[in-house]
Each structure stands twice: as C-alpha cells, then as structure tokens.
Structure 1
Amino acid sequence: MSGSVAEGILWYVVRNTPTFLSMFFLMLLAVRGRLRFSLKTTVGIALGIVVASSLVSGVGVVLFADEAGTWATIPLLAVSLASLAALTRLSWGKRLFVFFSAITAASIAILVYDVLLRTVALEWSFGARRVLDAAVCSLGPLALAPLFARTIRWGVEQIDDRTFWRRLAALPAAFFITANALYALAYAVEFVSTWANGLYALTVAVLGFLLAASYLVLFSALRTTRENARLREAAQLEGMQHVRYESLQRTLRDTAKARHDFRHQLLVIRSFAEENDAEGLRAFLDEQGAIGAEGERPAYASNFAVDAVAAHFAERARACGAETSFALALPERLSLPEADFCMALANLLENAVEACERVAGAGNAPQLLLCVEARVVAGGSVLVSVRNSCTDADARSLATAAPDGVLANAARSTKHAGEGIGLASVSALAHRYRGEVRAQAEDGVAEIQLLLRPERTQCAAATATTCSRAQR
C-alpha cells in the first residue's frame, strides 16, 4: 500500500510540476524588472515552491481523493499567487493580471492536450500519452513567452495606474473561467462523433487566438495612446521653450535699443545737472528705472527647458495675482532625462497655478502664493517642492489622494470627476525613478514634494542627450 501511495504521489508531481514551472516562467518573464530579489535567487525560490506545493498536493490527492482529483489545483494556484506577491514589487492589480494570464496559458495548453488525446492519441500507449501530456502541458504555454516577455512586461514597466490594472485583471480571469468551463463541459458531455471533436478543437483554437489577439490589440492601443500623449507633452514643452526664446530675443532687442538710447539719456541727465533741477532728474531716473523693471525677464534656471517651463507658469501665476518665488538650483545638465523632468515639473506647476486661479475666482481670497524649489540632493537625486494657495475642496481632494502623506498613482482631480491625469502621471514617474510624491494641505496652502532617484545609466543617458542637443 505504501509503495502504491508513493508511486501515486511521484506520478502526480512528475505530471504537474512541469506545467506549473512553465507557468512560473511566464510570470517571471513579465515581472523580471520588479523582483524583490535577484533573478537567480527568485528562480531558485520559485522552483522550490513549485516542487514543494506539487508534492503536498500530490499527497492530498492520493490519500484523500483519487489520482484524477482536481480539487488540489485550487490551493496550488493560491500558493502560486501568494508566491508571486512575495517575490515581486507590484500592485495587486498587476499581480492578478500576470497571474491569471499565466494560468490561462497553462489552461489552454491543457485543453490542447485534451483535444490531441481525443483526436489523434486515443489509441496510443499509456507511455506515449504521458510523453505527449508532459510535452504539450509544459512546452505549450511557452509558445506565449514572447507575449509575456515583450508585450505584458512593457505594460508592467510603463503603466502604474492601480485602477487600470484592477479592471484589466478581469480580462485574463474571464479567459481562465472560460477555459475551465470548456474543459468541464468536455468531460460532462460525451463527444462521440468526429464532428463534435472537431468543433471542440476549433473552440480551443479560437480561445487561444482570442487571448493572444486581445492582448496584442490592447497593448498596441496603449502604446499608441502613450506615444500620442508623449508627443503632445513634447509639443507643449517645445511651445513653452519657443515662447521663452522669443522673450529672450525681445530682451536682447530691448538691450540693444537701450544701449543706443543711453547716449541720449546721458544728454538729458547732463541738462538736468546743468540746470540744477534735482526734482526733474529724480523723476527722470524713476521713470527709467520703472521702464527697466517692467522689461526685466529673470532667468529661473540654468537649464533652458526648465527655465521655459518655470517662466510660462510664473507668468500665469502673476496674472491671477499670485506672489511667486522660484529657487531652481539645478545644473544645466540634469541627472535624468530632460523631457521626463520638465513634464513632471509642468504638471505640478499647472496644478498649482490652477489651484491659485480657483482661489482667486472664489473671491475674498488672501494673498495668493506660488513657491517653487528644486535642488539636487545626495546621490544625484532631484527634489522638487511646490507650495501654493488652494481652496478647501482642493485640500480635501489632496487629503483623499494622499491619506498617509504619500500620493497614490490614481490621484483624483478637483477639476473634474475621475482621475487626475497630471498628478497620476507625476506619481507614475516617481515610481519609475524609485522616488515618491508627498502631499499635504494646511491652512489654505498645499505642498507637494517630488523626489526622483535616477540610476547612473539614466544619468549618463541624460547627459549624452543634453550634449548631443547642444552640439546640434
């Protein structure tokens, strides 16, 4: 008896372990950029978990059910999901999406084996069927390896909207339920004709095709949407730089004109001095000083793109009556890609200026303020702090988005129902650069701090991009 039990357990482990290993392999392909441990350590842990779980499930199947019992798959899947959560740094929406995608691939492989068993391998020997089982159920899911390694991994790396992933996880979950329902139906209904088996095979093929096609279409649309958004942001940034460039050109023209007029001004000053007209001289100097102050356009940052963004929103803030203060102690060559930093800064400043405009529109407002600081801290990290006036509604919205002081990815906007794209974009960027966004509001003043920690490779790439553009 003990020998047969051991043989049954061994058979269960040998039969099911390769399938779960291929499933884990697919999951690792999709999440290898977000692992808690090194890839080698993670693979070792995953291998141990799969073998141990299969062994325990095999014991349960042999001792308390029969060899064909499928109930043990449920705790095995639960262990797989818990292992994915323990080994990765992902939101639960991403974990569920990757998990259901991998087990759906394994389920479709099992369906393919069942189709082959019914159509071509029914008369094969037991050993040949077992070889077919191992080959199809372990190697079949790997046919989707490019989908996981490229398409799904891109989504995991680039999209950090928690709400989006929670909703998207329903797609592979629906495919998983459909695949298992089809498998259960195939065993509940006796297929006695070639036509019925052919229809079964066609259904399985269509299900696999729809899984791959839906993923490719979905993520292709997401890539296109993100690329269009990036191009719009780049166009906005270029527009700000163009406006700033024209402003600098006007300043240069005014400076040249001032040099030309300087001789005439000296003659006027000389005439006032010769006539001992101190009051006239004082009035003339005050007038010239006011003209000079009116035409003065300060530089906010050494980096031209950052300066253009700051100048654009400083002008908007002053237009609504806000007192502005900018202290952007940043080098000309940023330690991270210029476009990423500028769009994050633009999103923060746009939210701040619009908050000031809402306070001004409410009437009876105190002195509006917009204070912006940015500096490089230890290790080349960049810290940005934005303080601005805000309404009570804005303060409540910010408290909801950051209940513990750290901004969530899906921060809600006070401008409209739904998600705040600007703050969500900033939070996603902070996550990409291993940083965070802290937010608080008190006494009608909101403060948001953004910390970005670029890696050395990103620093080098950012420097190279800046140098090549400067050479052009």
Structure 2
Amino acid sequence: MNSPFWSLVMRYFLEFFSMVPCAVLCFLPVQDRLRRKPLNLFLTGIPLSLLWAFAGGLVCADFGIPRDFWILPSFILFAVFFHRVCDLALWKPFSILLSVCAVFSCITNLTLFADALIDRTNTSGLFTLPGAGIHLLLSVLIVAIVWYPATHAAKWLVDDIEMAKTWYIFWVFPAAFFLLNRLIRPRYYETLYTNRVMKFYPILILALLTFLLLFYFMFYLMASEMNQNTRLLRENELLQLQSAQYRNLQRSIDETRIARHDLRQHLTVLSGYAANKDLDAISDYLASFRKHMMPEWLPSYCENQAVNAILSYYAQIAEKAGTALEIQAQMEKEIPVPEPEFCVLLGNLLENAVDACRENNESGAIKVHIRQTGTSLIAITVDNPCRKPPVLEGKRFLSTKHSGPGIGTQSIRLIAERHRGDARFEWKNGMFYASVILIPSAES
C-alpha cells in the first residue's frame, strides 16, 4: 500500500473523527441524566471513536465505499445507544440528536466552501486533507462556543420541561433545517464558481446557522416563560391547599384548647359524685373520660406556641397509629419566617411521616430534629421507617392517596425555595429521610 492510499485513509479518518465533537455535544445537556458515569463514557468513548474512525478510513479507502455507507449505520447505532444510556423518554434524546445534527450540517457546508477554495477541481466527494483538518477544527470550535449554553440553558430545558407536546413539535424545525442544508450543498465545486455563488454561499450558510441558533434561543425564552407561568399557577394552587390545611390544623388546636377549658365542668361532676361518696360512678366517669377526652395538657417541645401545638398534635396522631415521635426542637419564641408557612411546612413533613408509618404498619419511631440559629437559619430533619421505597416520576414522588405527584412534598419544596433554602428527600435501607433548610431573608 502506497502513500496515496494512506493519504486517502487519513482524509476519511479526519472526516469520520470530526463527528466525535458532535457526539460530545449531544451528551452535554444530559450529563446528569446518564445511566453511566460521564467520565467512564468519555474514557471508553474516545478510544472507541478513534478505532471506529480509523477502521472506517481503512474500509472505505480499500474497497472504495462512499463515506455515507459507513456513516449511516453508525449514526443509527449511536442514536440507539444514546437513547439507552439516557434516563429520559425517547422524544428528548431524539430532539437533542436532531438539534446537534442541524448545527453540524452548517459546519459541513462551511467546510465545503473552504475546501472549494483549496482545490476547486476536487470531484472525489471527499474533503481534501487540509479541508478535512478544517472540518475537524470547526467541529471542535463550535462545541467550545456552545459548551456553556449546552450545559446550562439546554440542560435546564431537558430537566424541567416535561410537556411532551413541546418536544413533539420542537424536533420538526431542526429536522427541516438539516434537510435544507443537505439540499443546498453543491455536488461539484465548480457550481460554487458559477456567477456570484461563491460570494453568497458562505453568507447564506452563516445566516442559516445564526437563524438556527436564534430559534434555539427563542425556544428557550418561550419555554422559560411557560415554565414560570405554570409554576405560578401551581404555587397558587398549593397556597390554597396550604391555607386550607392550616385552617384545619388550627381548628383541631382550638378544639383541644376548648376541651382543656371544659375540664372544670368534668371536675364539677366528679365533685358531686365525691360528695355523695359514689365511688362506682366516679370510676365509670373517669374510665369514660380517659377514653374520649383529649389530654388536658400539651407537652412543651419549644418556646414557640404554634410550632409546639403542631408537634403535640402529630405526636398524639402518631401515638394512636402505633408509633412515636422522638422530638428534639431548639427554637426560639419568635421565628424569622411567617408562622403559617412554617407550620404548613412542618405539618406536611410530619403528616407524610405518620401516614407512611400507618400505611406500612411500621413500629419504629419517627425522629424529628429542628434547630434554629438566630434569624439566619432553620434546619429540619424528619426520619421515619418505611420498608417500601416511594414511587418516583422523574424527580417527584407520587402520592399514595391519589394519582399524580404528592402535593405535600411539592408544597415543602416551594416554601423552601421561597426562603432561599432547599428540601431533599431520600429513601435508603428501609428509612425515608426528609431534610429542609430555610435561610430567611431580611424581609421575612
């Protein structure tokens, strides 16, 4: 095999390897949704890509096979692999792949223009060696340019935009754009030298590339606006639910206070029985009282009365459900967040824990830790036994009471975000861990 053969192999190799940056760009928006570690994919993917490009160069150069016969089946295999390695529904990886291909079709057309300037007599259907080098350089350059948008804006779209109809429509434009770039690509370089085509062709390609990137940017802005509107609607619904829950909780607390206030009426009855020395009546009345009457005192867990009432209320419910609340609360009388919001957040955490223990017949204790650091931080953890792992849909827990995501966990997350904090939920080894941090602002 002579030097021209290896020169041809190198031309094929550079063209094939120019597609590796395209594959890298596909993985950037989904790096947190991969079923394998990104570093492992990179360390195995690059050597395999080199081997694939070199093998393709040898096969195509030796047997005179057009490059598309090597690229097309490889593209199909990559598309299947990309879908399998991503923890996403089919329509998202498909849209990402088409979007990247549309961008790189512009890069190929720009390279074709540069290659025509290098050798206008090239009719092999393959870039010259310098042209293939330019193709690889432009491919790496475009990945470097869009690296930040791909790892931030595009990543946000993949993670947060769950409306399938949006993605069903999105793929149409990049697919049409890719086909357009294929159609305007001249078969022979001499076509570019006809009339004034050479002057307008690069301007047309750059304009199309700019238009494509602007379309992606506009899609991001529209998706962001739609997501903001959806979030506001969801917040309003959750606020209404929170208000209703807080009113119900307040009603239960008021009933407890009324029961304590009415205790003196029971004492009057007992005094009458005692005056008549009717011990049997006293015994019967006390038995009935013990069965139906709420406790005449509330345990003191912290200095804040509302929080103490919430903790006492759910401690009583947990006890009736056959479990116990182990509470450690370090809170001041005044808390730096609105009291109704904090009570709703704490109530949701405790209600979820008690319900999980009741539904699964758990016997272990629910451990509650609350710590307030002045006006700068409030940390809450609620750990409860839970033998069955909760069902996840994306990043949201599904409710056991109705179809769809759990409202309580959504409410907790929203309140935490509103106070510059964070809420995390994790199931591990038969335990469910809920952790919330609130960082109140000065306005709170």
Structure 1 segment 335-374 matched on structure 2, within 5 A = none
| One-letter amino acid matched to 2:209 | G
Letter in 2 for 1:305: L
Structure 1 residues 254, 36: closer, same or farther in 2, change over 3 A? closer
After TM superposition, give the deviation of residue 165 of structure 1 in Å: 4.7
The one of 103, 106, 110 aligned to 2:104: 106
**Within 5 A, what are the aligned runs for 1:308-323?**
308=348
For the residue of structure 2 that corresponds to 1:213, the secondary structure is helix
Q: 1:81 maps to what in 2?
A: 79
Distance 1:61 1:53 in 2: 12
Within 5 Å, give how 1:1-20 maps onto structure 2: 2-17=2-17, 19-20=18-19
Q: Map 1:9-408; keep pairs closer than 5 Å.
A: 9-17=9-17, 19-65=18-64, 69-85=67-83, 87-117=85-115, 129=131, 131-159=133-161, 165=167, 168-183=170-185, 192-194=194-196, 196-271=197-272, 299=314, 305=345, 307-308=347-348, 331-332=367-368, 375-377=384-386, 383-384=389-390
CA–CA distance in 2 between the matches of 1:327 and 1:305? 24
Distance in 2 between residues matched to 1:223 and 1:61, nearest whole Å: 46
CA shift, 1:311, in A, is 7.3
1:25 Cα offset (Å): 1.9
1:185-221 Cα shifts (integer Å, max 9, x gaps): 7879665122x34443343223212322222222333
| Other-structure match for 1:365 | none
Quickly say closer, same or farther: Cα 1:136–1:186, change in 2 above 3 A.
farther
Matching residue's letter, 1:465 = I
Tell me the secondary structure at the aligned position of residue 465 of structure 1.
Answer: strand
Instruction: Say how many residue pairs are matched.
Output: 358
1:240 and 1:308 in contact (8 A); partners too = no
Q: Deviations over 1:48-85 (max 9, x none)?
A: 2322222233234323437x754433133234324434
Q: What is the DSSP-based 3-state SS (H/G/I as helix, E as strand, rest coil) of the residue aligned with 1:193?
A: coil
CA contact 2:29–2:158 (8 Å) conserved in 1 = yes
Against the structure 1 CA distance between its residues 115 and 6, is the aligned structure 2 distance closer, same or farther, given a 3 Å change threshold?
A: closer
The match for 1:358 is none
Gaps of 5+ in 1: 315-323, 335-340, 343-373, 386-405, 410-419, 429-450
Separation in structure 2 between the aligned mates of residue 102 and residue 243 of structure 1, nearest angstrom: 48
In the alignment, the residues of structure 1 paired with residue 9 and residue 106 of structure 2 have an alpha-carbon distance, to the nearest angstrom, of 25
- Structure 2, unmatched stretches of 5+, are 123-127, 296-311, 319-324, 326-342, 371-380, 396-401, 411-424
- Report the residue type matching 2:153 in the other structure: T
Under a length normalisation based on structure 1, what TM-score does the superposition of the two structures give? Answer: 0.57
Label 1:144 to 1:256 Cα distance change in 2 as closer, same or farther (>3 A).
Answer: closer
* Seq. identity, %: 15
Give the alignment's TM-score, normalised by structure 2: 0.60
1:143-179 Cα offsets, whole Å, 9 max, x none, are: 3323322222223334566676565444433332222
Residues 444-459 of structure 1 mapped to structure 2, 5 A cutoff: 453=427
Structure 1 position 465, deviation (Å): 0.8
Quick one: structure 1 residues 425 and 79, their matched pair in 2 at CA, closer, same or farther if it must change by over 3 Å? farther
Question: RMSD between aligned alpha carbons?
Answer: 5.2
8 Å contact kept, 2:12–2:67: no
- CA deviations on 1:439-464 (whole Å, 9 max, x unpaired) are xxxxxxxxxxxx95489xx97xx646
Deviations 1:349-377 (A, max 9, x none): xxxxxxxxxxxxxxxxxxxxxxxxx9544
In structure 1, the partner of 2:437 is: 465
Cα 1:422–1:229 change in 2 (3 A) is farther
Separation in 2, partners of 1:331, 1:227: 36
Report the equivalent of 1:422.
404
Q: Is the 8 Å Cα contact of residues 111 and 204 (structure 1) preserved in structure 2? A: yes
